Amino acid sequence: MAEFDLIARYFTRPTNEAADLGIGDDAALLRVSDGCQLAISADMSVAGTHFFPETPAFDIGWKTMAVNVSDMAAMGALPKWATLSLALPEVDEAWLAQFSRGLFACAERYGVALIGGDTTRGPLNIAINILGEVPVGQALRRDGARVGDDVWVSGPLGSAALWLQARLGKISLSDAEMQGLAPAMHHPQPSVALGLALRGVANSALDLSDGLLADLGHILKASQVGAVLDWARIPRAENLPDTLPLEVLQRAVLAGGDDYALCFTAPVTQRGVIQAMAADLPLPLSLIGSIVAEQGLYVRDGETMLACTATGYNHFGESQP
Ligand code: ADP
Ligand code: MG
């Protein structure tokens, strides 16, 4: 199949006026809304590093788009356009059909138009660039946390990490437990509506891709502050076996990756607004700690302080699938 036919068949959909010019020319043409800045981000998925070779193509398509959309959510931006750069070892039409279904299912769910890309032969590698809009000055950056801010997190943490631990044979979970955790791993639901609602409310925000401690650490470093969290308040995966060691659970919740929840800080005066937001969206939003002047990140578990050496996932450290 010629490259041009492949693009036409699997990656060209009506862009419903999302772009002045979409796929098919040397470049796409976009118009940015008045008063808005462009938010641009990139995320790549590589076979063997970001997903297991046997992962269904639909799931790979969904997740690759979702992790990009999540970066827009974390910025308080409205995702609008994406490009797809694809290296394929071979033209496997069954794979491409499912991959494209998953990719567009996520893109359409979040109103993202695919406006271009590149296709080449090579080891399976999927790179998406995403573009969104945010009113000038309203983006949710990492450097805005202030001493006294509450620290909030959306959604339960640790589900994807526990699924991965079990898939790697490091812990043992039943099929039913695995099925309960799998959607978090394969079909993350980026919190775009939350990101938009947090404009003008949150002082800082990011999405959790590498684990709570590592990612919140980026906010602390950029804002030159510290934080104290309360283990008991951190929302976690439910319906897990009683036999799961606490240490495994804590590691998944605090340092596991792939949650794609948002972590944000906001002044104490915004508590009521944020609680109303949780009811409106609806989305579980948990107040898990506060920003302090002394730098460092501490997690209090009752009377004891957890050692926070469990930094987030490191791409050049621990081995991956
Ligand atoms: P060029 O030779 O100028 O790089 P291509 O032949 O690579 O152009 O691409 C032709 C058109 O198809 C361009 O508009 C490009 O953005 C688009 N395109 C190529 N690959 C993809 C893809 N995987 N997904 C979406 N659009 C693509
Ligand atoms: Mg090209």
Helix intervals (H) in 24-134: 57-75, 93-109
Tell me what pLDDT residue 176 has: 95
Q: Is the pTM of this model over 0.75?
A: yes
- Ligand minimally distant from the alpha carbon of residue 117: 1
Ligand 1 binding pocket (C-beta < 6 A) is 7, 11, 23-26, 84, 86, 114, 116-119
Per-residue pLDDT band at 239 (split at 50, 70, 90): confident
Burial class (CB in 10 A: 0-12, 13-18, 19+), 166: middle
CA distance 220 to 201: 18
Tell me what pLDDT residue 16 has: 58
CA distance 26 to 20: 13
Q: Are 206 and 70 in contact (CB under 8 A)?
A: no
Q: Is 104 helix (H, G, I), strand (E, B) or coil?
A: helix
Query: pLDDT digits over 145-161, tens only?
Result: 999 999 999 989 999 99
- pLDDT score of 317 more than 70: no
Cross-strand pairs, 300? 230, 305
Tell me what pLDDT residue 81 has: 97
Find, among 276, 274, 299, 297, the residue nearest to 287 by Cα.
274
Max mean pLDDT among 16-20, 32-36, 303-307 falls in: 32-36
Mean pLDDT of 189-211: 97
The residue behind tokens 């959604």 is 155
- pLDDT score of 316 more than 60: no
What DSSP string describes 201-266?
A: T-SEEEE-SS-HHHHHHHHHHHHT-EEEEEGGGS-B--S--TTS-HHHHHHHHHH------EEEEE
Per-residue pLDDT band at 306 (split at 50, 70, 90): confident
Residue type, 246: L
- pLDDT score of 321 more than 50: no
Quote the mean pLDDT of the chain. 92
Distance 122 CA to ligand 1 centre (A): 16
Distance 75 CA to ligand 1 centre (A): 28
Residue type, 219: I
Say how many CA atoms lie within 13 Å of 282 toward its Cβ: 1
Mean pLDDT of 88-115: 97
Tokens found for residue 308: 């926070």
- Which residue has a Cα nearest atom 5 of ligand 1? 118
- pLDDT score of 307 more than 90: no
Tell me what pLDDT residue 255 has: 92
Q: What residues contact 135, with CB distance under 8 A and at least 6 apart?
A: 35, 36, 37, 199
Cross-strand pairs, 87? 120, 125
- pLDDT score of 318 more than 70: no
Tell me what pLDDT residue 320 has: 37
Per-residue pLDDT band at 17 (split at 50, 70, 90): low
- Ligand minimally distant from the alpha carbon of residue 12: 1
Tokens found for residue 181: 């955790």
- pLDDT score of 311 more than 80: no
